[in-house]
Amino acid sequence: MVRKKQIKQPMSYNRLARQPIEQLFTIFQTSRKGLTEEQAVKARETYGENTFSYGKKPSFLLEMLKAYITPFTLVLIGLGVTSFVTDVVLAAPGERDFFGTSIILLMVLVSGTMTLFQSVRSNQAADKLKSLVKVTALVRRAGHEAEIPMEEIVCGDIVKLSVGDMIPADIRLLATKDLFLSQSALTGESYPVEKQAEAVIHEQAAETTYENMVYMGSNVISGSAEGIVVGTGQGTLFGQVADSLASKPVKTNFELGIHKTSYLFIKFMALMAPTVIVINGLTKGDWMEAFLFGLSVAVGLTPEMLPMIVTTNLVKGATSMAKKGTVIKNLNAIQNFGAIDVLCTDKTGTLTQDKIILEYHLDLLGNEDERVLKHAYLNSYYQTGLKNLLDVAIIEVANEELTIENQHYEKVDEIPFDFERRRMSVVVEDAQGKTQMITKGAIEEMLQVASVVDLQGEIVPLTDEIKQKILKKVCELNEDGLRVIGVAQKTNPRVVGEFSVADESEMVLIGYLAFLDPPKESTKQALETLSRQGVKVKVLTGDNALVTRSVCKQVGLGTETLIMGEELANLSEEELRQEVEQYNVFVKLTPQQKQQVTRALRANGHTVGFLGDGINDAPAMKEADVGISVDTAVDIAKESADVILLEKDLMILERGILAGRETFGNIMKYIKATASSNFGNMFSVLVASIFLPFLPMLPLQILFLNLIYDISCISIPWDHMDEDYLEKPKRWDSSSIGKFMLWFGPTSSIFDITTYALMYFVICPAVVGGSFHTLSPSQQVAFIAVFHAGWFVESLWSQTLVLHALRTPKLPFIQSRGSFVMTTITSLGIVAGTILPFTSLGQNLGLAILPANYWAWLLLTIVAYLLLVTVVKQCYLRRYTELL
């Protein structure tokens, strides 16, 4: 017996939080330069891997049991046990027959093995797809900083944190700057909490309140920090409560649909099987045979391959999406992906290019001014938070146009950006010892903190008149599609080391920067395509109205319907639900308002997808039916997403939505066609049981017919959907399956009954030499064998070919044809069933060779059946508008 390796715990978090920094370095054998690679290997052996699972991963044995033990296979197993008892245990030694039991066992094995295979394959595919999306952390090893995968972090590592980062392990903070975290995953706190490296921890304090500790599972809202890892994987606070956090996820509309469908079939079985048993017992007198036949009818109503077909479709759909640049983290999200009818998206990087250009750096009179660019550069260069596209654009232009000796400046302090202030400040000191605070941010917020302005070197008070002139100039730039931010400074601010948001006051506004965020060339086409496919796009942005209006106008979005976050803040929940339907563009939104808009749309019955890549998008992504992110997004956004786009392009998203709809369509194709065919066959059996003096088909023959048909259905995931079907969002509607069965099931029964009459009154008497009641017992056996063979072949032909008729609302084989794989496999199934009566296996099943004149009648029956199905299909479409 192998013992599980025990993970060493150095001491409690209470003691770790109160230890001096140097003592921590000693405990973990590290320093501010970080671990060497050799030390990291040793730490991993000592303290364990930085991985953990939410609860126990199902074992292979459990996966196997789930595959083989389903409501459908239980019916088969019950029939197999009964067959074994009657045909083997109770039979005379010379009459024991294992054939029936073997066929039933084969069906269970085929269904279960295929389901197990696809289940294992889906898990492997999901793991492989997830591996494409890596969550990393910035770690210092042997004095060098590098981004490494989260799972490679070990105790003793020195980690640097900035805005948008997920906390990769439990960390004791060494240095912090205005660090605010969201700990909602651990504590349920709605508001961010502040953390400080210098905080004094009381012995009685709760672990989650330690101000100098941050924990895996939380994420950085604003600020920056550096710390030493003191807990990894299962040893983290998050790992210890992982089992309790692993609550059963809410079932998606897709999963509920599968369950409702399964129960629908079981209800039909519960009704049909006892009815057939009673009728055959009373009319034939053999209650054991009637019981076996009733069970086989129940099996005939059972889509045994449902779990396997569903899993295969999901895996194939996820693999297909991956090839098109869409990674599915959650397989069950595929159906919701295809069902999206409202797509909420940010503006920057989605509608526009993921590169912002600094067009102008202007003084307050609108003249080019290098001084404004220099101050903006110092602010962007020395900040330690998440450098956004604006910072990158400023630094690029400054490097081209200015000569700035960075060694002449030293950073003193900073006040990081947050989404409430919408500005950030840096304090720098030059070679002469002059200290200045430089702030940049949204114009409205900058006007609030400025008291004076610099007009061509003259410092004058910020009057209402000057403010209006500034806003007018900014408005002109905004109308040209330019995004404008202000730049202000303050010389020799307060005492060093005590800077805070309060210092952002009484500042000198010196100018502004104008950025161009040009739309992508593909955006307009993508929006038009999504609109044609029934997906309404709504823009949810924190940017201002004028810039957003300009961009939306260029890409073809209606800008007459635009609403600001300030207006939304005053609405009740009911009013918000009305307003989200009226407007397509929402501007100046906070992260919470993005979440509220998404929630309101879902409450109105929409299936909502949210495409985002920032920390401010994470709440809305979690609220949406499908959270969509990109592989370049911040960690928390990627973790919040169900779907990851490998390229931030709406055309990629559009292809993913179509793949989701095709996957859903193929699942519904199998369920509806199989349900209606099986129901029709069993309804025919019920009618035949009343009028025929013998069973219309033996239990084993029904099972074998089902086996051939189910194997043919394995090809359905490789079929394609008509382009018309992909044009609209698809939602699971279980009630439509019952309607479909009632419409198309009896249609097939009409021709089953004509086949009964043909075989009973015409073909069988011609082959055997008389009507059934005039024949000897041995001739009656031959009569029954021909009858069974005739109906077996007709049932297989009609049941298989109707798959092609019901897979499309168009004319089958003419206007719409199945894929090569589906056509080939279903054709092989028909060939195998057709030649079965001519083989020894068929004779063991109780089938006889069919006469030549049967085939002409069969062809006439099938053609007439397909024509009637086409007529009924048109009536169904006029009534319900959609087939699948």
Residues labelled catalytic: 346
**Sequence-ordered list of residues with C-beta below 8 angstroms from that of 208, at least 6 positions apart, any chain:** 183, 186, 187, 215, 237
202: left (phi over 0), alpha (psi -120 to 50) or beta: beta
Q: At what angle do helices 777-806 and 735-758 cross, to 10 degrees?
A: 140
146: which strand partners?
A: 139
How far is 704 from 706, CA to CA, in rounded Å? 5
Of 785, 794, 826, nearest in space to 680 by CA: 794
How many other CB atoms are found less than 10 A from the CB of residue 430?
Answer: 13
Tell me the C-alpha distance between 449 and 471, whole Å: 15
SS3 248: coil
Instruction: Give the chain's length.
Output: 884
453, containing H or E segment: strand 450-455
What Rg do the C-alpha atoms of the chain give, in angstroms?
35
In Å, how far are 11, 38, 153, 229 from 34, measured between CA atoms?
A: 21, 12, 11, 10
Which of 561, 632, 620, 622 is closest to 590 using CA atoms? Answer: 620
Strand 585-587 and strand 562-564: the pairing is parallel
3-state secondary structure of 803: helix
Can you say whether residue 605 is alpha, beta or left, with left for phi > 0 and alpha for psi between -120 and 50 degrees?
left
Contact 760, 787 (CB under 8 A): yes
The DSSP bridge pattern shows strands 482-491 and 507-516 to be antiparallel
HEC readout, 222-233: EEEEEEEEEECH
Do residues 439 and 507 lie in contact, with contact meaning Cβ atoms separated by under 8 Å? yes
Q: What are the E-state strand segments in 329-481?
A: 342-345, 357-363, 409-415, 423-430, 435-442, 450-455, 458-461
Distance, in Å, from the CA atom of 452 to the CA atom of 386, rounded to the nearest integer, reads: 29
Structure tokens at 832: 């195998």
Q: Report how far residue 623's alpha carbon sits from residue 641's, in angstroms, rounded to the nearest whole number.
A: 10
Q: Report d(CA 509, CA 456) in Å as an integer.
A: 12
In 10 A of CB 494, how many CB atoms? Answer: 15
Burial of 674 (0-12, 13-18, 19+ CB in 10 A): buried
Listing DSSP states for 89-126 in one string gives: ISS-GGG---HHHHHHHHHHHHHHHHHHHHHHHHHHHH
- Helical (H) or strand (E) element with 721: none
